[in-house]
Structure 1
Amino acid sequence: NNIALVSPSATRTNLTAGTFPNFYRPIPNDGLQGPGDATYMVKTLKAKEIVVIEEKTAYGTGLAKEVVTTLKALKVKVTNIAVNEKNADYAAVVTRVSKTTNFVFVTFQDAAKSEQVAQELIKQKKKAVVFGSDGSDQPTFKTPGTYVSAFAPDVNGLPVAAAVVAAYKATYKAEVTTFGPPAYVAAQVIVEAAGRACAAGKPNDRAAVLAEIAKTNIKQTIMGNALSFTATGDVKGGRFYIFKTQADGKRKLVG
């Protein structure tokens, strides 16, 4: 239990329920994302009927449960469709989406699947719009008008991230996308905690590093936020960011 784990992407709610006292994350959990996305679809986008495609993985099932629970509480019509992670053809799944459905919320970890659903909806002449979670926030999901909810902002335009973004692009010849910034921050948390433990004369003490992680207090990360943790390892003041896909495939922050 003294080996620290700082995850840049694990959002399942029960990971910070007390079972893993050595677990921390600089990103918010599904308990925020699910209700937040559901509420946005209903309150802001005025959805009356929503289909949730639950990919049967630890991530997909956990997030789908949070979304469905909130949608039911908001008194909208919701249909949950569970699919296997290995499912490769979504034409049959889309046939189950009614003509009156406003949104199809997907919990895929592969953005290409989200794009396939979006294109199949168009092919079958259905008005529903795909609303994806973090796994959908990749360039392969590009149908205009779709939505994505992500646990990190687009750091490409943030002054505080400029040096890191420039170095990444120069080294890897690629764009910085959703999962990169939280991974950078997770590494920063560990490195700085280890540095403080060493400075205190405890260079080989895992418990000391873990204790320092709990004390993390970064005034501003490359994601633009201050970072400290709750007693259970969640980020304080965490939030999700909602983007809408534009005609050129780029995303615009809308919520």
Structure 2
Amino acid sequence: MQFTTKLIPLAIAIAFAGSASAQEVVRIGHVGPISGASAHLGKDNENGAKMAIEELNAKGFTLGGKKVKLELLLEDDGADPKQGTAVAQKLVDAKVHGVIGHLNSGTTVPASKIYHDAGIPQISPSATTPQYTKQGFKSAFRVVANDNKLGGTLGSYAVDTLKAKNIAVIDDRSAYGQGVADEFVKGAKKKFPGVKIVGKEFTNPNATDFTAILTSIKAKKPDLIFFGGMDAVGGPMLKQMKALGIQAKFMGGDGICTEALSRLAGDGLGESNVTCAEAGGVKGPQEKAMSDFQARYKKKYNIDVQLYAPYVYDAVMVMATAMKNANSADPAKYLPELKKIKYQGVTGNIQFDPKGDLQNGALTLFTYKGGKKTKMDVIY
């Protein structure tokens, strides 16, 4: 009898452990550049994803009445298209149920075909090239406005508000940089057909010396320089503009619109000399939700939000909500719910159009005063 009574609790313990280990795990992949020049932005994105997953698990995430554990698989694409497709395939092989990413347009577009072919939903929190959703992939979504709106709005603002008449354009030849620069020119010419594009120059995402292209531009006496690229290049470019005595105003998209630009540009930043736009933005009552998120983020990581973390956070929440609505993490079952989602997030109301683009995406215009990124206006 003693032998038997000792076995009973042991058997119960084994059975309990077996049932606990059998808990369903839902894997969500996140991809961003954790190495390279844009690593600070990639880490910002990663932090936003971790916050969302941790909060969902802490509350107890259930599907069909059963508790489910959400697991985040983190990958680094180094902002490199080849590396991006490699890690996309790695996530497919790991049988993830969905993907949040990538950060850059140049990695998001080639990776999107891999996810599409595998039937895995993908939500980019920051890729803005129109090409991403023009491919017609039913699995591709984004939670920010695209370059058509971003670049076009900046072009209009450059000639209408900043009164620019002679504009030089530089892009880093990435899908994002080239795309936003092209849309900027279209927007400027549409607003004021007489505007002159006095020079078009090109660099690359890893460049550090811009003396040749800036010297060429200086000779053409622009009153504004538009740069399509990221802050890791835009910051040093501003430094070298100051060293060469170029007085033109400087403008760019969300790639340069970061807290880090002040540090990267140093005394080249100037006072209210830089204008940039961030895809997304809130005003009115929604500002409190964003402010609360920023405070929670700062408390958790002891750093400020760099740029896209709130959009990553919302992207995870949108995907999880679609799963909840479908009572399943099976991509084929929750994808229809993703298409018709209506989610009120930190970044505002999230609904997708038939292509997967964010409906009524906002833009926020910023400048830099006293070395600080300062909001000017939110445009819908």
What is the TM-score normalised by the length of structure 2? 0.61
**Displacement over 4 Å in runs of 4+:** none
Structure 1 residues 128 and 162: CA distance shift in structure 2, 3 A: closer
Match of 1:236 in 2: 359
Match of 1:147 in 2: 275
1 CA distance for matches of 2:377 and 2:342? 29
Contact persistence 2:128–2:176 (CA under 8 A) = yes
Whether 2:188 is the aligned partner of 1:60: answer no
Q: Between 41-50 and 15-24, report the one with greater CA deviation.
A: 15-24
Deviation at 1:154, TM superposition (A): 7.3
Match of 2:111 in 1: none
What is the TM-score normalised by the length of structure 1? 0.89
Deviation at 1:193, TM superposition (A): 0.5
Match of 2:346 in 1: 222
1 CA distance for matches of 2:361 and 2:324? 25
Q: 1 or 2 for the larger relative contact order (CA 8 Å, sep ≥6)? A: 1
Counting only pairs closer than 5 Å after superposition, residues 157-172 of structure 1 correspond to structure 2 as 158-172=287-301
Deviation at 1:26, TM superposition (A): 1.0
Deviations 1:231-250 (A, max 9, x none): 11111111211101102333
2 CA distance for matches of 1:140 and 1:177? 7
How many pairs align? 247
Structure 1 residues 86 and 248: CA distance shift in structure 2, 3 A: closer
Q: Which runs of 5+ in 2 are unaligned?
A: 1-115, 263-268
Equivalent position to 2:225, from 101, 104, 113: 104
Structure 1 residues 227 and 20: CA distance shift in structure 2, 3 A: same
Deviations 1:100-155 (A, max 9, x none): 3111111122x132122222222222221111211112233221321111113379
Q: Between 66-75 and 11-20, report the one with greater CA deviation.
A: 66-75
2:335 partner letter: L
Is the strand fraction higher in 1 or 2? Answer: 2
Contact persistence 1:246–1:252 (CA under 8 A) = no
Deviations 1:186-219 (A, max 9, x none): 1111010011111xxxx2531121111111112x
2 CA distance for matches of 1:252 and 1:135? 16
Structure 1 residues 69 and 164: CA distance shift in structure 2, 3 A: closer
1 CA distance for matches of 2:302 and 2:282? 17
- CA RMSD, aligned part only? 2.0
Percent identity of the aligned residues?
27
Structure index of larger Rg? 2
Q: Which runs of 5+ in 1 are unaligned?
A: none
Whether 2:375 is the aligned partner of 1:252: answer yes
SS in 1 for 2:276: strand
Structure 1 residues 89 and 150: CA distance shift in structure 2, 3 A: same
